[in-house]
Amino acid sequence: MEHLLAISFGEIFLKGKNRNVFYKTATNNIKRNIREIGYYDMYTESSKLYIKADKDKFDSLIKEIKKVFGIAYISEVVKCEKTIEDISRTSIQLIKYYKMDQGLTFKVESKRTDKSFSLTSPKLSAEIGGDILAEFKDLKVDIHKPDFTVFIDIKSSAYIYIKRIKGLGGLPLGSSGEGLLLLSGGIDSPVAGYLMAKRGMNINAIHFHSYPFTSKRAHQKAMDLAKILSAYTGKMTVYSVNLAEIYKAISKNCQRRETTILSRRFMMRIANKISEKYEYQALITGESLGQVASQTIESVSVINESSSLPILRPLIAMDKKDIIEICEKIEAYEKAIEPFDDCCSIFAPDLPVTKPKLKYIQKSEENLDIEKLENEAIDSMEIIEIA
């Protein structure tokens, strides 16, 4: 018997002619996540990836593999000879190993990829189920809602397993283009980045601050969130842009109640220029419709006009409760709620315009040297690599 980890992929195997590209991307992402832990070998057989490693490393390997998008399940499997006797013996040993032999219900689920095997899948399940019942008098069969399932895959060898650990699902990172995330220091933007990464998009980030009006600790908080997010996205570049001079110009030359909309349009234009230089294909924000003044449908429309790139808003229809749950899941919530203000909250007006008209916002922008302000902000930005 040989203990292995088996990786079952999700949507990848619905992707037709692109399947091999998706599979190779997912496999490379797994290798990246587990290279420091170490393993002996990887191989593919009938749509699953098998990993050979020391059994005492399995928990550490599973922890890192769970962070890779595109995976449906991770299973600890036992590989044995493709005989009824060996399959039966191994199934019984696994039930004893997991201590599932007392008063539980079970079923056997077989999948016969090798059609030369003597028994069909239903007959093999019945045969092994009978052996299990003979060995464990306290177990009962329940094919609808069993307490546990004995899975048997018949390939070049037999692979048997009981426990499956759910993966993140989604698509492999890097299979859906390049996105630039507007990363604040709050709850929403890390979740937005995570969700777009789950759909296969490579994520880098731009962070806007206004030091010295905002503190260095507020800036560090955003970098810490980027580090947390990089556990799922891999290496990330963060463009740190100071908007202090832009906020001062808006305050001096425009109506204060327009500050939020005007500054968001500056952010989008700056992000577009950086995207053009570094070849990002879309912007990503953590906006949710109606959550704050800048996220009314009128505000969203006016902000959209300032960007030539598509602005992806994966949280647009989500409740705050659901966003928080995901933030907690990716272990970013405690960092996100630290009490350090970002530039948006520092300069937010008491009575912001909630239904802006594009023509009036553009009229206000005529009072600003937009090109000069944007270029100066970009020229002074800091580029930070998050490993």
* CB contact burial 118-155 (16+ within 10 A = b; e otherwise): ebebeebbebbbebbeeebeebeeeeeebebebbbbbb
Query: How many whole angstroms separate alpha carbon 132 and alpha carbon 140?
Result: 9
Whether residue 182 is annotated as binding a ligand: the answer is yes
Query: How many whole angstroms separate alpha carbon 174 and alpha carbon 164?
Result: 26
Residue position matching structure tokens 């963060």: 238
Collapsing DSSP states into helix, strand and coil, what is residue 239? strand
Closest CA to 105 of 164, 147, 161, 151: 147
Whether residue 295 is annotated as binding a ligand: the answer is yes
Q: Per the structure block, which two tokens stand in for 199?
A: 């759909």
Q: Enter the DSSP assignment of 100.
A: -
Please list the residues that pair with 80 across neighbouring strands.
158
Whether residue 264 is annotated as binding a ligand: the answer is yes
Q: Per the structure block, which two tokens stand in for 239?
A: 């463009």
Q: Contact at 8 Å (CB) between 197 and 173?
A: yes
Give Cα 164 distance to the centre of its chain: 20
Query: How many whole angstroms separate alpha carbon 280 and alpha carbon 314?
Result: 17
Whether residue 286 is annotated as binding a ligand: the answer is yes
- What's phi and psi for 112, nearest 5 deg? -105, 95
Residues 6+ apart with CB under 8 A from 328: none
Query: How many whole angstroms separate alpha carbon 48 and alpha carbon 6?
Result: 6
* CB contact burial 330-367 (16+ within 10 A = b; e otherwise): bebbebbeeeebbbbeebbeeebbbebeeeebeebbee
**Bond preceding residue 212 cis, omega within 30 of 0:** yes
Q: Per the structure block, which two tokens stand in for 249?
A: 């110009």
- For the chain, what is the radius of gyration of the CA atoms? 27
Instruction: Give the residue numbers of the binding site for ATP.
Output: 182-183, 207-208, 264, 286, 295
Instruction: Give the residue numbers of the binding site.
Output: 182-183, 207-208, 264, 286, 295
